[in-house]
Amino acid sequence: MKENNTSKLIGTFFIIVSIIGILFSLAGMTTIWILKPRMQKSAKDFLTTSEDFLENTNESLMVLDSALENTRENLLIIEESFNDLDTTFSSVSESLDIASTLVGDDLSQTIVNAQTALSSSASTAQIIDRTLLFIASIPLIGADYRPEVPLHISLEEVASELEDVPASLKIIEQSMNDTSEGILILNDNLSELTGNLGDFDADLADAQDVLNEYISILNGFLDRIRNLQKNLSLYIILLSLFFTGLFLLLGTSQVSVLLHGLAYREGEQRVIYLSDLRKKQPDSTQEPTTKED
């Protein structure tokens, strides 16, 4: 009796579990197809949002790539201008060196020589002035020689005015030399700046390569998302069928559990044959044997 109750209890447990499993499978399959439109709409919205985000990011990267390209072109123009300035400054520095030599040496010496010549000419002109005044004083000749400023005085004044010129030329020569040295320093700085611009251009080129790689990756993602959007309905149906199959398989497996539970509820059934009963019953026709003394 106790064993029969235990079998019924186990059978009841299996029946309850199998019914819950079957109901769960049916609920799962029903839920999948009820939620399918919402799932499809949510997936479509998510893909659309992702596509918009990737497109905006891709456009931003392309704008940045274009800005870097324009920057590189401007840097190239500036670099070429600095190279031209380098050549120009080198020529200017050489010209200033030549001019400072002309001003400080040749022109200064020329002024000194001119001053000496003017001083000598002033002495000669003084003699000529006296001679002309003497000739003009002779009444028979009738010459009139009365200059406002005698020639020798004019020459002496010019010679005296040239006294400060060599010193000024020396100052100009020094200024030219300083300017030439400053231009050389500026030229060196420009050369260094040109080298730095070249390095910066190389860094921008590397940055462009990275941007182009990211743009290529984003384009690949966009192609995949657009392909997924195109076949989204098919994928949702296949996914729904897959989970429906899983729930159906789960529900089918619960049928076996339900049958086992019913078997336990009905208890163990035995088939008894008549031959087995006859073997167990004693033979009534057989006479008992007596033991003789």
pLDDT tens, position by position, 76-85: 887 787 777 7
Q: Where are the beta strands (DSSP E) in 94-136?
A: none
The alpha carbon of 117 is separated from its chain's Cα centroid by a whole number of angstroms, namely 75
Rounded Cα–Cα distance for residues 169 and 114 (Å):
14
Per-residue HEC secondary structure of 27-64 comes to HHHHHHHHHHHHHHHHHHHHHHHHHHHHHHHHHHHHHH
Are 154 and 106 within 8 A, CB to CB? no
> Tens digits of per-residue pLDDT, 56-73?
888 888 888 888 888 888
Rounded Cα–Cα distance for residues 47 and 229 (Å):
7
Q: Which amino acid is at 71?
A: T
In angstroms and rounded to an integer, the radius of gyration of the C-alpha atoms of the chain is 61
Are 51 and 229 within 8 A, CB to CB? yes
Rounded Cα–Cα distance for residues 263 and 266 (Å):
5
Residues 6+ apart with CB under 8 A from 33: 240, 244
Range scoring the smallest mean pLDDT among 30-34, 183-187, 238-242? 183-187
Rounded Cα–Cα distance for residues 72 and 68 (Å):
6
| Neighbouring C-beta atoms of residue 22, cutoff 10 Å | 18
Q: Which amino acid is at 147?
A: P
Confidence at residue 130, expressed as pLDDT on a 0 to 100 scale: 67
Rounded Cα–Cα distance for residues 106 and 104 (Å):
6
Mean pLDDT of all residues belonging to the chain: 75
Average pLDDT over residues 115-124: 73
Q: Is 1 helix (H, G, I), strand (E, B) or coil?
A: coil
Query: Which CATH number is 2-266 given?
Result: 1.10.287
Confidence at residue 134, expressed as pLDDT on a 0 to 100 scale: 63
Confidence at residue 148, expressed as pLDDT on a 0 to 100 scale: 64
The alpha carbon of 7 is separated from its chain's Cα centroid by a whole number of angstroms, namely 74
Are 251 and 27 within 8 A, CB to CB? no
Q: Is 148 helix (H, G, I), strand (E, B) or coil?
A: coil
pLDDT band with cut points at 50, 70 and 90 for residue 284: very low
Judged on CB neighbours under 10 Å (0-12, 13-18, 19+), 45 is exposed
> Tens digits of per-residue pLDDT, 201-233?
888 888 888 888 888 888 888 888 888 888 888
> Per the confidence metrics, is the pTM higher than 0.75?
no
Work out the percent of the chain whose per-residue pLDDT is above 70.
Answer: 76
**pLDDT of 190 strictly over 50:** yes
Domain positions in the chain are 2-266
Look at the alpha carbons of 52, 54, 60, 65 in this order and tell me if their dihedral is positive or negative. Answer: negative
Quote the DSSP letter at residue 288: P
pLDDT band with cut points at 50, 70 and 90 for residue 186: confident
Are 17 and 257 within 8 A, CB to CB? yes
**pLDDT of 277 strictly over 80:** no
Look at the alpha carbons of 100, 104, 115, 163 in this order and tell me if their dihedral is positive or negative. Answer: positive
